[in-house]
Chains A and B, each alone.
Chain A
């Protein structure tokens, strides 16, 4: 659209909008930085290359820039002191798109199809982010650590026990940092729930049961534009059978662990973390109930047994890929004094007080949480009971069933992206040896073993027990 200059009644001249058309803009944006950004990118480049690097600037590369890789790059954009130097992906379409997005933010990156070439040529890298399909995590992470780079690897660590174990061994051998991408472990709300509500305040009492889920609506095959198709021989070189499996790798057994691994791992990791122990046993069921030409089970349900110092905890988890029923995804910790529904979706995160539990006003005053529904739905259950007594007219008033008191946690992400705190923790640990990783390789391995057993149980069609030492590589 080309809008001419308009003078208003007061003689003020509104800014003429960009004459860049929609398609010019969008193409330049995704492909080379938006029209307005095109010149900016060059300006940034000049600034970037002209400026002396700061002492603690970190040179960073990324391997794998599909959807998850892009999410991680976006989460890095407000982390100071990072200089992205290289983008590696076997798909030029994704590789170039992310190179240009990084360029628009002032990062001048070399691009590589092959990670070995990248490691050969990019000698000054401090860290590498690995966001490739699961079966590539171990080869990529191990090669990077052996080349002296710290690694942030997406979860799962691998789709095989052997791959995960090899990553642990490489980390121990090289001494490089290896952060596994269970990003909830750095989320301020999850940290507050674990450290303050559960461990310090003991608000839930004895946790007896857990219910968790990640349910998604029906999805269709990911496709690709013909002109962006990778020739099959090149796909074969990188372990993929064909373009369809490359685009939909999560559904095939040789590339990943299926929905329980893609989605469930994030949340089952929280079960282990909040309970302070891995499980003793798991019994699972599942199958390909809906999709016709995939290998992995589209429906999985599992029940873990956790033996905690406080007693047995039965933990249910389901992942459904045919319906979003039950508000998507959460981990619901149920205890004798209260229940905690955690989620990366702040809107459904709540902690509920049992009617018989002591007041939580102390913890409200301490700033841990605020009562969620007080403003909208009138007095809380405890206040109603207090009024009953104060009035002295009756022992109780008959009214509609009161809901449990619901509270909202006070901690939140502020103005950060969801993955940002976990990446910040990784980069902070590189700069400062006193900073510990929130999800080092030992924890990642424990979670991998916990999750892989679900698929083993479905195959075996029986309850499986974890062997002593099974959680340690």
Chain B
């Protein structure tokens, strides 16, 4: 099997949701079956948006943001699991990733910020433990949605698929027949590389599209450290959240986290002014070999 036999034949479907464009790429199935799968996938993404958006009245996240200190609100498994993963990433990154960064108590320490929400898995309830808590899943929701609809692809037994949102969150299941992986580009210009994704998620963060939108909520946070980050993991939710966190973490912190985390790899493009790292990408973890673009 060649490493890079070119762009494999596939069908492409697009849908606007969560303020960006989702795409589903399907290979090796008849067109009618692929379009039916796309309808199911995009309907589910719309449903997820109605539960995870902080803007839509009645969504589980909207409801959490309207819950008073000391009160509990029951949420669905979608919001519960997404929050559970988010809080785990918060702890792992020591607050560099924080879905409560917009909360009123700006002066909470990383330790107390972690306790703004309490999840109770016995009844899927979320207790709000401070006044003015605001949850924003913008840094994890799209990746989480890809993981979630990945189950539909499995259930429909059409797994030769890639699903992505906004170009920044990508989940590849099985590659098309005869191909080693879905070719995905990383970086531009001389640092551009192509990876063959298979049963893996790749997510990116940067400032070139949305500007300086990543907030460092840590009391002693050092602010943005990278121009761009890319993270490989087997869950898109994790890759999405970590790619945001790594924008704010020092390279040595990223290196430590990747070394201790099975299946997580990162590539960092540092600030151009950094003389030591102005060329190429810093890579950590089991960052895969690249193939020739094209």
Binding site for B on A (CB under 8 A): 1-6, 8, 12, 14-15, 17-18, 21-23, 25-27, 29-30, 33-34, 36-37, 40, 43-44, 47, 67, 74, 77-78, 101, 104-106, 219-227, 344-347, 412-418, 420
Q: List 28 A-B contacts (CB under 8 A).
A: A3-B92, A6-B261, A17-B85, A17-B88, A22-B234, A23-B151, A26-B148, A27-B154, A29-B77, A29-B151, A44-B123, A47-B122, A74-B76, A105-B74, A105-B124, A219-B39, A220-B39, A222-B39, A223-B33, A223-B36, A223-B40, A224-B36, A225-B155, A226-B156, A345-B56, A345-B57, A414-B66, A415-B66
Q: How far is the CB of A170 from chain B (nearest CB, A)?
A: 32
| Interfacial chain A residues near B154, Cβ < 8 Å | 23, 26-27
Task: Provide the bound-state CA to CA distance between A56 and B257, in Å.
Answer: 52
How far apart are B287's CB and chain A's nearest CB, in angstroms? 16
- Between B43, B74, B256, the greatest number of chain A beta carbons within 10 A of the residue's beta carbon is seen for B74
Cβ–Cβ contact A6 & B260, under 8 A: yes
- Contact indicator B123/A105 (Cβ below 8 Å): yes
- Chain A residues near B74 (CB-CB < 8 A): 77-78, 105
CA distance A23 to B147 in the complex (A): 8
Q: Which residues of B contact A17 (CB under 8 A)?
A: 85, 88-89, 92, 238
Q: Shortest CB–CB separation between residue B248 and chain A, in angstroms? A: 15
B129 to chain A, nearest CB (A): 15
A3-B77 in contact (CB<8A): no
Q: Which residues of B contact A223 (CB under 8 A)?
A: 33, 35-37, 39-40
A14 close to B91 (CB less than 8 A)? yes
How many angstroms from the CA of A6 to the CA of B47 in the assembled complex?
35
Interface residues of B in 188-239 (CB under 8 A from A): 233-238
Interface size grouping (class) on chain B = 35 or more
B interface list, Cβ under 8 A from A: 33, 35-40, 43, 47, 51, 55-58, 62-64, 66-67, 73-77, 80-81, 84-85, 88-89, 91-92, 94, 121-124, 147-148, 150-151, 154-157, 233-238, 256-257, 260-264
Chain B residue with the shortest CB-CB distance to A29: B77
Q: Which residues of A contact B77 (CB under 8 A)?
A: 29-30, 33-34, 37, 101, 104
Q: Given A36-B121, A106-B123: A1 and B263 within 8 A (CB)?
A: yes
Report the nearest A residue to B58, measured CB to CB: A418
Q: Are B73 and A78 in contact (CB under 8 A)?
A: yes
A220 cross-chain contacts in B, Cβ below 8 A: 35-36, 38-39
| Contact of A29 with B257 at beta-carbon distance under 8 Å, contacts A1-B238, A220-B35, A415-B64 already known | no
List residues of chain B with CB within 8 A of the CB of A40: 121-122
Would you call the interface of chain B mostly helix, strand, loop, or mixed? helix
Of all A-B residue pairs in the complex, the 7 with the closest CB atoms, nearest first, are A223-B36, A26-B151, A40-B121, A415-B63, A3-B261, A415-B66, A418-B58
Closest chain A residue to B37, Cβ basis: A223
Chain A residues, CB < 8 A from B36: 220-224
In the docked arrangement, what's the CA distance between A3 and B85, Å? 13
Query: Which residues on A sit within 8 Å (CB–CB) of B94?
Result: 8, 12, 14
Q: How far is the CB of A467 from chain B (nearest CB, A)?
A: 39
On chain A, the residues within 8 Å of B73 by CB distance are 78, 415
Distance A223 CA – B43 CA, assembled complex (angstroms): 11
- Partner among B63, B156, B261 whose Cβ is within 8 Å of the Cβ of A4: B261
Since A6-B92, A44-B122, A105-B123 are in contact, a sample of 14 more A-B pairs with Cβ atoms closer than 8 Å, ordered by chain A residue number, is: A15-B92, A17-B89, A21-B234, A104-B124, A105-B124, A106-B122, A220-B39, A222-B39, A223-B36, A223-B40, A225-B156, A225-B157, A226-B156, A415-B73
Chain B residues whose C-beta falls within 8 Å of the C-beta of A18 in the assembled complex: 84, 88
CA distance A47 to B120 in the complex (A): 14
Given contacts A29-B81, A415-B73, A417-B58, contact A222 B92 (CB under 8 A): no
Complex CA–CA separation, A25 to B81 (angstroms): 9
CA distance A301 to B150 in the complex (A): 40
Q: Tell me the bound Cα distance from A36 to B37 in angstroms.
A: 28
Nearest to B128 among chain A residues (CB) is A415
- Tell me the smallest distance from the CB of A261 to a CB of chain B, in Å: 21
Contacts of B150 in A (CB 8 A): 22-23, 26
Bound-state CA distance A8–B256 (Å) is 9
Chain A: minimal CB distance from B32 (Å) = 8
Contact between A412 and B57, CB atoms less than 8 A apart: yes
Residues of B within 8 A of A22 (CB): 147, 150, 234-237
